[in-house]
């Protein structure tokens, strides 16, 4: 079998401040850089990403892979028209050459372009126009995919991650290969889907916590290929939201399994709500807990998560740490990362390790509610360490990847260690502290600009985990967003 393979990964927060142009896909930041042709197979095969899992499974089956383009960018506001057309044009253009028996796409499922609300549905439709309706076409999806009717119509089958943090990405790629084999060997699959009547907050989607933990255990045990795409609740278009879907050769069994799982998810509605703390309350509780803890207390700065459209540059949590005197209580024992501030990193590099200088840290940005976030922190800082920002990653989600962050620096701000970077990525790997000399296991308090992904690497070393609702571009409660395009019968919170 000859399999055409390609990938397009973007999670779009339509309320976020920065858009994803083609340069964002070229650099990748926390993702591998965009690659085309045989170089894509070489670059992606060693990774824990879905494409890496699919490549390994395909080679075990003896399939020949015809690689097109794989491109990903850090979550942000809309993909620009130019970037989407470049990506879709390259993939569809390569497909026109033909010579293959089936297609695998490594998709996110929650991309919104400036001119196309359902970006993955558009890409699938364009491919179908080239290859025809009979061509087997299977896609893997992120757990946060906003699955649309057009995606389900044009894909032969799809399968979504079953973990958040996403530690099963390669496994999902391998599962996509098994689905493709089922279509190739036994013919088309029946599909059924149910859309849930409410949005799910991002933090509540963690599969290390209930109720998601039990639901995904049920999915793993099901004889039917089931997916629960819990949706990315910050994409303002009509099909945003959670969808349960499934595939199989027994249509009745698929329908029954999908309806049963969706019914359980809806029946657990009150359990989808989580406690969110103000910045000052989160810091006060963390300091109290840390006094008696033998391992660090971790605070998630969830509303500035670069993995959900934030730019990693807001200062609400840093202000709260400084107001509480956290660094004076435990000098060098409190750290915040990563703060995306290219100018501060450049100034630290110019001054050198050991320098003391006056800096403005972070930015005030327009939040989802239309208000500006906290002002920059003006402070005397000491430069503790600097780095070129090339960081090999080794965590449960990230093994095999390399973060390319540009010039970075470790700064001391009144005893608080602040890691500043020239590119944005969420704090989801212990190596993103260690590359600047911070040993996370030895710290008292860590503030991570992340929502849930950090838990894969940090939950094993943390004594407690708190979630803070500091002002930022990503609403922890989707009901806080100024929606314009959602259906009136879709509840904004569980």
User: In this structure, what token pair is assigned to residue 165?
Assistant: 């943090």
pLDDT of residue 326: 98
Q: What's the predicted TM-score (pTM) here? A: 0.90
Spatial separation of the C-alpha atoms in residues 257 and 224, rounded to whole Å: 7
The proportion of the chain whose per-residue pLDDT surpasses 70, expressed as a percent, equals 100
DSSP per residue over 117-134, as a string?
SSHHHHHHHHHHHHH-TT
Spatial separation of the C-alpha atoms in residues 451 and 274, rounded to whole Å: 12
User: In this structure, what token pair is assigned to residue 292?
Assistant: 């008696």
SS3 content of the chain, % helix, strand, coil (to 5): 35, 25, 40
CATH fold of the domain at 2-272: Rossmann fold (3.40.50)
Query: What is the helix (H) or strand (E) element at residue 156, kind and residue range?
Result: none
Mean pLDDT estimate for the chain: 96
pLDDT of residue 368: 84
pLDDT of residue 233: 96
C-alpha 443 chain-centroid distance: 26
DSSP conformation class of 376: P
| Residues 385/454/300/308 CA torsion (nearest 10 deg) | 100
DSSP conformation class of 417: E
Sequence-separated contacts (24+) of 218-226 with Cβ below 8 Å: 218/261, 218/264, 219/162, 219/261, 220/162, 222/257, 222/261, 223/253, 224/248, 224/250, 224/253, 224/254, 224/257, 224/258, 225/157, 225/159, 225/175, 225/179, 225/189, 226/257, 226/258, 226/261
Q: Are 145 and 109 in contact (CB under 8 A)?
A: yes
Spatial separation of the C-alpha atoms in residues 346 and 363, rounded to whole Å: 15
pLDDT of residue 329: 96
Q: Where are the domains of the chain?
A: 2-272, 279-476
The proportion of the chain whose per-residue pLDDT surpasses 90, expressed as a percent, equals 93
Q: Write the burial class of residue 208 (CB in 10 Å: 0-12 exposed, 13-18 middle, 19+ buried).
A: middle
Give me the helix-helix angle, 212-221 and 251-267, nearest 10°. Answer: 170
| Mean pLDDT for back-to-back runs of 10 residues, the chain (494 residues) | 98 93 90 94 94 98 98 95 98 98 98 98 98 98 98 98 96 98 97 98 95 96 97 97 98 98 97 92 98 97 92 97 97 97 98 98 90 95 97 88 93 98 95 98 98 96 97 93 96 95
pLDDT of residue 250: 97
């Amino acid at each position: 079998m000859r399999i055409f393979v390609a990938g397009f990964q973007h999670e779009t927060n339509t309320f976020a401040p920065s858009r994803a142009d083609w340069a964002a896909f070229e650099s990748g930041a926390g993702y591998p850089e965009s690659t085309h042709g045989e170089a894509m197979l070489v670059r992606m095969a060693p990774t824990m990403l879905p494409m890496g899992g699919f490549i390994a499974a395909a080679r075990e089956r003896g399939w020949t892979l015809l690689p097109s383009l794989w491109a990903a960018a850090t979550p942000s506001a809309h993909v620009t028209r130019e970037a989407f057309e470049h990506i879709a044009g390259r993939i569809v253009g390569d497909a026109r050459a033909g010579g293959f028996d089936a297609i695998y796409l490594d998709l996110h499922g929650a991309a919104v372009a400036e001119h196309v609300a359902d970006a993955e549905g558009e890409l699938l439709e364009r491919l179908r126009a080239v290859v025809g309706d009979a061509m087997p076409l299977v896609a893997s999806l992120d757990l946060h995919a906003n699955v649309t009717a057009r995606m389900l119509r044009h894909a032969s089958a799809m399968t979504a991650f079953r973990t958040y943090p996403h530690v099963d990405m390669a496994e999902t790629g391998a599962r996509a290969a098994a689905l493709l084999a089922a279509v190739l060997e036994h013919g088309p699959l029946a599909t059924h889907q149910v859309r849930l009547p409410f949005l799910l907050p991002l933090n509540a989607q963690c599969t290390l916590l209930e109720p998601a933990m039990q639901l995904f255990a049920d999915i793993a045990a099901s004889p039917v290929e089931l997916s629960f795409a819990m949706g990315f609740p910050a994409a303002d278009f009509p099909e945003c939201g959670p969808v349960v879907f499934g595939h199989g050769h027994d249509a009745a069994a698929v329908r029954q399994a999908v309806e049963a799982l969706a019914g359980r998810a809806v029946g657990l509605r009150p359990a989808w709500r989580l406690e969110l703390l103000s910045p000052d309350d989160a810091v006060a509780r963390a300091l109290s807990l840390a006094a008696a803890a033998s391992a660090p207390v971790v605070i998630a700065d969830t509303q500035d998560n670069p993995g959900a459209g934030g730019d990693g540059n807001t200062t609400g949590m840093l202000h709260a740490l400084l107001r509480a005197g956290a660094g004076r209580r435990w000098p060098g024992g409190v750290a915040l990362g990563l703060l995306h501030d290219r100018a501060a990193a450049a100034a630290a590099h110019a001054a050198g390790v050991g320098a003391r200088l006056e800096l403005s840290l972070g930015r005030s940005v327009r939040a989802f509610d239309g208000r500006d976030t906290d002002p920059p922190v003006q402070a005397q800082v000491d430069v503790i360490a600097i780095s070129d920002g090339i960081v090999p990653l080794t965590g449960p989600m990230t093994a095999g990847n390399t973060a390319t962050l540009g010039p970075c620096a470790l700064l001391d701000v009144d005893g608080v260690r602040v890691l500043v970077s020239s590119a944005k990525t969420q704090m989801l790997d212990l190596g993103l502290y260690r590359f600047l000399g911070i040993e996370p296991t030895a710290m008292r308090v860590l503030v991570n600009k992340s929502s849930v992904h950090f838990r894969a690497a940090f939950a094993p070393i943390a004594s407690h985990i708190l979630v803070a609702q500091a002002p930022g571009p990503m609403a922890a409660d989707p009901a806080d967003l100024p929606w314009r395009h959602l259906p009136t019968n879709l509840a904004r919170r569980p």
